[in-house]
Structure 1
């Protein structure tokens, strides 16, 4: 007898308890991940029927009407006022079966539905809830594979933009994330469980990738309500149908191809692509994206409202678009100006923009590239964009500096990298913009942000002027008092006590 056979024979004879426990654990895992025939529960018909009516209306609203066969079975069950038959009609379409016991412990099992998703779109999935506790809390749906795919955005800036939710659960560990998951709570559905023994909910799952993707889906009704032994979560191998590449045809007011600012929303106001799923060239902290003529946007089949424009000199227009499966989709945008300052010799620009820090992430990359910033500048109709390297990601972003305009520039759209003295160096008397520099390395700084910079701003402003640069203080709306600022500077940096600062 082989060693392996001897081992298993000994296990069967001498340690049958271990083997039986292993078998029991295996059966438990199977039971918690596969439930081809969800448990049918005796419950009152009227509350179930009312909930199912709202459910079918919601599926219709979401553009995923209940299948004809299921609808016929439901109608027959409703005609008989048979709650068991109603459940049997729906259970074959349930992807998840959530059970809540009297102690408010939540467990989940796989339902019988095929786990098929649509890349770049929200797929509605059916959730059966067996509520033995009659609790009326909110059912939450989550996944380790869901959440932002970036990290490092500044909390203060997102507070100012009222978008702090974009910083929740940042991807600091660089995990593979490709989902958004949520329970659909808008009308005609509700935001809380009804308390009925049986009810059906709709989950929405967004996937940014195509192909087969395994994800773990987790349910709870609040902190500490997950059942023991990982029974509140279930692994699912999804098959994700690829999104449709939608080609953009963008024409300027004069008929020439250009770049536009675009914002796609579905009938529920959801933004595409979702902001938490974005990496450059699409920025997560703004709902719009920028595309040049001929570029592509990945979208699911469906109807959308497209808002387009090109900065403050253009009219913002809206149009309804429908993306159809099994066909090549092209969306045309005709931009319209309401004013053209360049025709009178006036050119637009923004002298204070950043490719890192502020709302930008520092993970997975140290800010974004000149190509990404150029799309923003051109998409806003600016003739000049000054990207200022500052404290965050300084060592990386300074590599983009050039004494002349960046090579991505075009005759009517110029991108130049320069400096803002902020977050490093000589910022004690306020932030200073240094524009049109030929050299970004202050004498003695050795290319760093930590050595050789004077403690006050006059020397760096003088250094910029010596290069024929342009310099000045931004953030004038902060209302700094010059006298108080100067007194503070003297108190902190006048080392020889002569009431002057010389370096």
Structure 2
């Protein structure tokens, strides 16, 4: 028989275990309600309801009615009691502006290929009014190797893409705080307020991620309390098969841009690997190809290069495993009727804005999809300095085998990043042999430092030569 002290310890241990289990299962041990004035909290929550409605994920009708009644009465306690069960993450900012993150009671459910709104509650003990940022090691770009010059030319330096040296394919999340009206980009300084975070997942199934928040440098609480692990249940995306017909009714390829009402492009550019290129908003698909999209209403923009009308229409993606969208392209002119053919003699499959990781540029299959999707009759893909050794393997003396009757692709050379580049970048088109005598198939030996010998060598094999631009690019 247990004595009084032993029995007391056993009861205490049991109660602690019970409390821990309750905390793990439902987060009921977290005290979410805090003293706060009713009027500003009512205004904050009214804006949250409006934003959730706009994003297509409103609370239930009964909950909205109760929230509106509590807001009308300026009842801060009741408002918190109604909204707190829907909170996924609780952010506490202490008087020293250090951030602590805890898991809230809401279920962690996401939609693959879509931005899922989740509710965040901020308990602000510091009255801080800075921007609240959401971070995660599972979020960010999945590619690496963009050159600083390309980032500058494309006005993308603010994205800090060049900081990455190696690709991280495991980054399946994309995070942002929703700050468009009626929400605001900065905290209000109120003791308690609610915000909306948007979470995108490129994967489906059960995935764990570590979610953190920042309000400035060095503000995370000690002992990893500035972040919290979350196990997400992610519903699969809809496999949307595109049926693409040309102006004459024949199957073809086209360029597409899918956007939601909040302005997001799908798939997000930071999550793109070939055949989708991260440095442009459009993607390319052939007739019968698939794109993963979230259910709901999207705006679809589509065309096939400058000879076609740029069309736009709303599409509703059903909430099921697969769907089809039919597209009929419209020309405004057909230059071939007048004896003219379209072409681009200066395309790169590596270097410039292309990544070098996970691969050194992209493949002919990826490039031909772009050529065909732009409606080009001729596309010249030029190997140059970056990734020279990898890309030169795609050269053939004739047009590439992927070519069709009205859309041909040829791999050739641009003398840039090696050889005589200082005297101007020369394009060598329709080469039969890409290996200059004495170069041994490399870019580091044998190439002349002035352009005339290279151009003579190209002309001798029936190629077309000319300057693309000055040496500065």
TM-score, normalised to structure 1, is 0.87
| Map of 1:147 onto structure 2 | 140
For 2:327 and 2:285, the matched residues in 1 are separated by 11
For 2:463 and 2:330, the matched residues in 1 are separated by 35
5+ unaligned residues in a row in structure 2: which ranges? 1-15
2:468 aligned counterpart, secondary structure: coil
| Map of 1:235 onto structure 2 | 229
Of 377, 382, 407, the match for 2:376: 382
Please state how far the C-alpha of 1:168 moved relative to its aligned partner.
Answer: 3.1
Change (3 A) 1:170 1:306: farther
Of 257, 261, 265, the match for 1:263: 257
| Map of 1:198 onto structure 2 | 192
Query: For residues 20-419 of structure 1, what are the structure 2 equivalents within 5 Å?
Result: 37-168=30-161, 171-175=164-168, 176-326=170-320, 328-419=322-413
Decide whether the 8 Å contact of 2:166 with 2:357 is kept in 1: no
For 1:381 and 1:169, the matched residues in 2 are separated by 32
Decide whether the 8 Å contact of 2:258 with 2:298 is kept in 1: yes
Decide whether the 8 Å contact of 1:153 with 1:167 is kept in 2: no
Please state how far the C-alpha of 1:121 moved relative to its aligned partner.
Answer: 0.2
Decide whether the 8 Å contact of 1:149 with 1:171 is kept in 2: no
| Map of 1:8 onto structure 2 | none
For 1:213 and 1:102, the matched residues in 2 are separated by 34
Please state how far the C-alpha of 1:326 moved relative to its aligned partner.
Answer: 2.5
For 2:465 and 2:256, the matched residues in 1 are separated by 34
- Report how many aligned residue pairs link the two structures: 452
Of 426, 430, 437, the match for 2:424: 430
For 1:35 and 1:362, the matched residues in 2 are separated by 48
Decide whether the 8 Å contact of 2:144 with 2:161 is kept in 1: no
Please state how far the C-alpha of 1:246 moved relative to its aligned partner.
Answer: 0.7
Instruction: Say whether residues 1:475 and 2:458 are aligned partners.
Output: no
Please state how far the C-alpha of 1:212 moved relative to its aligned partner.
Answer: 1.1
1:368 aligned counterpart, secondary structure: coil
Higher radius of gyration, 1 or 2: 1
For 2:197 and 2:296, the matched residues in 1 are separated by 18
Please state how far the C-alpha of 1:477 moved relative to its aligned partner.
Answer: 11
Q: Which moved further from structure 2: 300-309 or 150-159? A: 150-159
Q: Which moved further from structure 2: 297-306 or 171-180? A: 171-180
Q: Which moved further from structure 2: 228-237 or 120-129? A: 228-237
5+ unaligned residues in a row in structure 1: which ranges? 1-22, 481-503
Decide whether the 8 Å contact of 2:297 with 2:316 is kept in 1: yes
For 2:337 and 2:214, the matched residues in 1 are separated by 61
Please state how far the C-alpha of 1:73 moved relative to its aligned partner.
Answer: 3.6
Decide whether the 8 Å contact of 1:249 with 1:332 is kept in 2: yes
Decide whether the 8 Å contact of 1:387 with 1:416 is kept in 2: yes
For 1:159 and 1:35, the matched residues in 2 are separated by 50
Decide whether the 8 Å contact of 2:247 with 2:329 is kept in 1: yes
Change (3 A) 1:168 1:157: closer
Decide whether the 8 Å contact of 1:150 with 1:170 is kept in 2: no
For 2:276 and 2:47, the matched residues in 1 are separated by 36
For 1:79 and 1:183, the matched residues in 2 are separated by 27
Q: What does the per-residue CA deviation read over 1:117-171, in whole Å, with 9 as the maximum and x for residues that have no partner?
A: 0000000000000001111111110111111100011222222222234443754
Q: Which moved further from structure 2: 90-99 or 147-156? A: 147-156
2:399 aligned counterpart, secondary structure: coil
Change (3 A) 1:155 1:386: same
TM-score, normalised to structure 2, is 0.92
1:109 aligned counterpart, secondary structure: strand
Could you list the runs of 4 or more consecutive aligned residues of structure 1 that deviate by over 6 angstroms after TM superposition?
none
Q: What does the per-residue CA deviation read over 1:225-249, in whole Å, with 9 as the maximum and x for residues that have no partner?
A: 1111111111111111000011111
For 1:366 and 1:166, the matched residues in 2 are separated by 21
Please state how far the C-alpha of 1:77 moved relative to its aligned partner.
Answer: 3.0
- The alignment's C-alpha RMSD in Å is 2.0
1:256 aligned counterpart, secondary structure: coil
1:474 aligned counterpart, secondary structure: strand
